[in-house]
Each structure stands twice: as structure tokens, then as C-alpha cells.
Chains A and B, each alone.
Chain A
């Protein structure tokens, strides 16, 4: 039998043709390959969240192979000796088994936890970037809302995961969560008993949190992530202003190859950081906390960092109990239900609030530097100050303990700080923005400060400025302010030669100084 010759070189082309006859992809595929993406480090913050999410799905699937969300009472007989024979729930037992009796289980658990913390951190930082640069403006309001929703979904997802191992910390967190639900007016007790299947803790709550944690919330998150990225793709990424960049174009690199390669490399680096942290830095050592018992708690019980701001708001809340006609609204309701409600609705409405405030109804594809929108930057600083005061207050017992401050003083500092610091932050951030803007304008009008002080014949001292372009007869340059980086140092203008290469020591000879003797103007005191 004669073997048919296969032309290997023609194979890819032939396959491509076969595919295209069935599914005409040539045109859309090329459009995707050629899609232009702008590049800037600040555009990579959201990617960190995306990559952490992928790692969460991978490690989480591994954990689910071994974990059992059951509150059934068992006696531990795994390899961790100190807990031998201790009564605990099956959930806590399987979480211990994951840490001690599953090969590589501990690193997966720790990677999962670190990835969750990184996921939330990346979301928060990314959100600040979007806010401060005005990337939420028309036409991207919908994506801003989706992003905010993902923060709260991630928050809930993280809390559910934190509650699953049924160790002392997760049980305490869950008990507080039940108290928060109880505090809702009118329906609180019904919501709590319905969710817990009776009184706290009941027997069913972990199964319910589990299906929420491994199926419902990840599914919703995955859908929202897809829409989020799809919208970025369709609406095209925003870009910074700069040479050749307008509201009507995108300047950058084509999607394939460079952009994709950089994304792939960055994913691997994020993965690497999470693997290193998961292996080297211990997190949530549940075997030290012991199983959850309603009567046991330790000092310094802290939630994961992204929950701490609500813990802080709860600690700072004054003891105000509203009682009317035999009914009451507990103080827990305001900082844990009303505050998160405001914190989710207000930012979602912000794009429209700013539209009316600044009377700007246009579409924007160019980003703004924070300094160019002082009011918004002020608001961001205000939000950040508010958030930081709450987060620090969430750990005020630790601060009090480590720095030997009275705990009550810490609480009062938080209560006063939450009122005073945000407005102060607004004021300073706004002034700072205006100052930076002013300095940019000065450079555009007069040039870069050279650091050379010149004495004039009449005795005045002035600093010599290097204009960016040839000045007019008054020494002024008339450059437009475009909201992009202005050179502030002489070496940015190429005034200094390239630095001598070498990291630890010079690996090349410095260029010999220019021998040309320039006739220099003699500087005198001005006196005859």
C-alpha cells in the first residue's frame, strides 16, 4: 500500500482553510488580533484581580475535593496530635485533614486564602484607579457598577469561605453575621432563623454557605467578570492623554503578539507571588484556633482585612438603641447594614452625580490625572481617610495592645477621627492637586528649573529656567496644558548624558568631559 504523503508545512494552512469553510472566522479573528490596546502600568491593577480569581477557581476546586461542609459531631483522629480526640464538626475535621493528611493540601489552602486577600486588594486599588482617573465616566458607567457589584460579591464570597472551616474564628464571625441579620428591623429574626434553619448555629448553615461559596457566587462573579471584560473589549480601553492621543483613537500595541505576551507573563508572575506567599507565609492556621465553641473567644480576633472596615464601624458606633412601642432598632443595624448600603449605592450613583455637578454630559475616552480634577481627587482622599480610620479601628485592640494605648482612647480617637479626618483629607488633597497643576503650568510657561541661581546686575537673584521651546520676547513659552506629564528635571530634557551603566559598580568608562572651552560670561558682583 502506498502511504499518502503528508505535507507538514501545508498542514496549518489547510486546517485553517477547513475551519474557515465551516466557520468563517478570518475577518473577525484578524480584527481581534489587530485590536489596539493602550499600555500603562495602572491598567494592570484590574488584571491582578482577574488572575487571582482564576487562581481561586483552580485552588478552590482542589480544596472542594477534600472538604465536607458538615456540622456533624466527630472526634478527631487525624495526624495532628494536639487535637487528638477533641470533639469537633466534620467540617473542621476535613479542614484539618486538608492541612495535615492531604499531600500538598496545606499549600493549596494557603494559596487559596492569599489569593482571596489579593483578589480583594486588587479590586480596591483598581477601583481607586478608575475613580481617580475618571474612567467611570460616560460611556463606561455600566462597567463601574458591575465592578462595584463584584467588590461586594467578592466580599460576601470571602466571608462565606472564611466561615466554612468552622474553627473558632469562623464561628465567631458567623455569630456576628447572625447578630447583624437579627438587627434588621421587622424581618431580622425571620431572616436569621430562615437562613440558619433555626437558632444559631443550627445544623444546616455550612451546607448553605458552601453552595453559595463554591457555586452561586463564583458563577455570578464569573458572569460579571466576562461582561466586565467584554465591555472593555467592545468600548475599547481608555487611554492617557499624550502625543497623538485623542478622544477618538486608541494609541498602543496590537492585541497579538506583544499585548497578549505581556498579559501571559504577568499572569505567571501573579501566580508566582501567590505560590510563594502560600508556601512561605502562614495564613489562617486553624489548628491553633481550635474548633468553634460558642463560649470561647480569644482576644485579638480579627476578620480578614477587607471586612475590617465594617468591624471598625461597629466598634466606633455609639450605644444608640432606638426603642419605640415595644420594638427596637439595635445599634448594630447602622454600621453593618445601613453603612454598607450607603457605601454600595452612593458610588454606583456617582457617575451621574458628577455629570450634574460638573455639567459634563460628554463621552470621555481620555483619562484625567488626579491633579486635573481636584474635587474628585479630594473626594477620593476623603473616602480613603474614612476607610482607613474604620480599618484601623477594626484592629484598635491590637493597636492599643502593641503601643500601650488605652483601648477606650483608641475608640474615642476613631469616633472623632471619622468625623474630622475625611474633610481634612479632602482639603489637603484638593490643595495638593491645585499646587501640582500650578507647577505644571509654570513649567509650560517658563521652562524647567535648572537649579542655577543667577545674580542680576541690580543685585537680585533669579533661578535660570530652561524653556521647553524657543520663548517669545518676554521669555515666555505658550504651550497648551494637555493634562499629561510635563518634564520637571533637566535630565528629562536630555541635559545630562546617559548614566554610566552598571548596577553594583560601573561597567563602562564615563565619557571624557568635553574639552571645548566655551567663552563664559563673567559673573561679577555688579559693583564697579
Chain B
């Protein structure tokens, strides 16, 4: 009996149900939401503590044995990602108290937030392909409604694109799963890894591998499937964008890393270079897109794309160090990115818009937020002593060791351009003087913040920036942990033994 591994799914579900039942009172919803996500955070920490030395937990729901039943598996990689989900979930729940307007809360913002968290941690913990699909869809439905919640005109066009592209991705995923099942007769990760290692059949397995690559690539916003992301992520409120940028694309990255390091490993000569090319293009196109933008949310949305390239780079190099770096990077970027989007939300609240050309003077107006933005931005760009530096350093070191000089050069160049576009935000929004005529957007309520609300905006930013600094200072132990997670990915034997109860 291992309730510990089910808790990260159960607690958000319970919280979601609770907020749905108690939706008549906003105040009670806030309390339930915060308590629930704190419980989620606690369960994620417990899971990580339990697995920190490289153990693997598996549970067969309903006692139906693998590979027939529904399996939940947690290895160190899953546990780290679940913890990330819980951290982002908790800070977003905190931030939402002040940042989400009443109509949205009345339409069910809180239940959707927690159902989304449930879907994400389910995707991280599931042990088979089909349930991964199911969790993807849970996530998709919740994210879809979060995106249109509020019903502003601009949201519809973004939402339609988002839903269409994601539905197409799900369909490709489903077809891939069908083809894979037809070929191997199983969809359980452990069973797949076991069967394909014994009897590699490149023909149809490669077909489904590429279908999965495209499907996960769309979810993760990898080049050339990224176009939907900057087109839809800027429309919801900043709290929702932070949640999406922190978690949704990372689930795509997780799925890519899980499947292409454990299951589809028989054709690395082909997939390795493919991933490197995609990684390079994703980084470059994303950052070019970002540099060209004049609106904070769109700019940062392009950065989400660009940063995905780094995680993919680790997967393309495919050494233990590279995977370790990719995992560390994924954790780092989700946190730094969420902090930046929180800052954008604060700016939007103060000024009523986030158009860089018309912003300015924020350094004088709110120096603390400005400093927090600077710290998060420097971390994202990869300056020491923040987490971004160690993440990129590890990846670049892995690239040099594997003699992949081209991708290393691209990664360094893109880092520089990231720094450049971050200084653009800094100059335009914070450093330069406020424009003489303050034209606030009439649609947004007056940019007035009560002291309590203001701190509810700032506290989550402080938490996330604090985490990115701690991740930088404690890079050594964390990198050891991600290193162990990478080892587990490269050697699936213990995973298979834990799930199937027999030796490959």
C-alpha cells in the first residue's frame, strides 16, 4: 500500500472538488485553495524525500497487476517534476487571491486551477502511455477553460487556436499509441522498455516514435510546432500564463524525455541529431521572436519557446550529464519564468497594460518588484550565481564533452540574446522615466492596490526568486539529485523490476 504516490493526484482533486462545492463564498474558496495546495506541496516533498536516494515506487491501482492495470510509478525524475508542480501550484494559488478578479472566481477559477494541477501531476506519475494521454486531456480541458474564462473578446481567437492545435496533438498521440499497441501488445512504460529492448522492431515502432515526437513536440512548443504558444499564452491573466508556462510545456518536455530515454532508444543515431537540430532551431527562433516583441507577455511567451530548446538539447546529447542538466534546467526555467510572469501581472495591475513603449518609471514606483524582476531575469539569462547559470553550464559542459560544438555555440549565442531582451524589458519598463501622459487602459479597474493586495502580489514573486537563488547556491546537491534521476532514465532495469516484479 503506497498512498504516498497517489496523494499528489488525490489532493488537488479533493481541493478542486472542495472549491467547486464551496463556490458560493470567495473567501472560503481562497482558504480551501491555499490549504489544499499547501497539502499538495507537503505530499510532493514527502515523495521526494522518500525517493531522494534513487528508489522507485510503483503502485497498481485497484490491485490489477501491471501491465494490465493502471500503474502509478514515481522515480526521482517524476518526484522532482511533481515537486515543481506543487511549488508552482502553491505560488499561483497564493498569487490568485489578489490577482484574479471576482467574475473569474465565480465562474470556477479555483476548481479549474486544481484540476489542472491534478492533470499535470498525474501525467508525471503515470506508468503507461494511455494514461499519459488521459492526463494530457484532463490538463487540456482545464487549461482550455482557464484560457477563455472571463470571456474577453481577445481570448476567443487565442483559445480557438490553442484548442485546435492541442486537439490535433492529442490525436497524433492517440494514433501513435494505437500503432505502438498493435506492434507490441502493451502500453505500459516498463513493459514497453522491456519488450523493445529484447526485440527491437524499427519499422512501425519508429512510426509511432515520430508520432509521439510530433505530439509531445506540439505540447512542449518545440520548433516547428511552437507557433500556437505565443499566439494564445498572452491572452489570459498573468497568473494563468505563469501556470501554463511553468507546467504545460514542461509536461511535453517530460513526456519527450521519458519516452525517448527509456522506450525509443533503438535508433539514437537518428533521433539524437534530430533532437539537436530541433533544439537549436527552437532556441534561435524563439529568442528572435522575443527580441522583436514590444509587449511584455508576448515577449516572455517567445522566451518559453526558446528555453524549451535547452531541455531538448540535453535530450539530444543524451549523456548522463546532459540529461541531468536538462532536468535541472526544466526545474529552473519553470520557476524563473513563473516569477517573471508574476511581475508582468503586477505591472499590468499597476498600469492597466503591458506595452513596453508606454511603460516606464516602475523602478522608482516599486523598487522591490524591479529588483525581483532583475534577479529572475538574470537567472533566466544564465548569470551566476543563479540557477540558470548552473543549468546552462551543465548543459554546455555536457555538449563539449560529447563534442557537439555547434549546439554549444547556439546555446551561448541564445543566452546572450536572452540577456539582451531582458535588458530591453528592464530599460523600457523599469529604468526609463515614466511617460508624461499616463494612459491607463480603461478596461482594467483603476490601478490602485491596497497594501494587503500588493503584498499578495509580491510574496509569491519573492518565494520563486528565493527558490531560484537557493537552487543556484545549492546547485551541487541538486545536481547530484538530478544526476541520479538521469541515471535512472538511462538504466531502466530497476524501473522495470519495480513495476513488473520481474527482471528484464
The reply to whether chain A is a binding partner of chain B is no
B residues sitting closer than 8 Å to A (CB atoms) are none
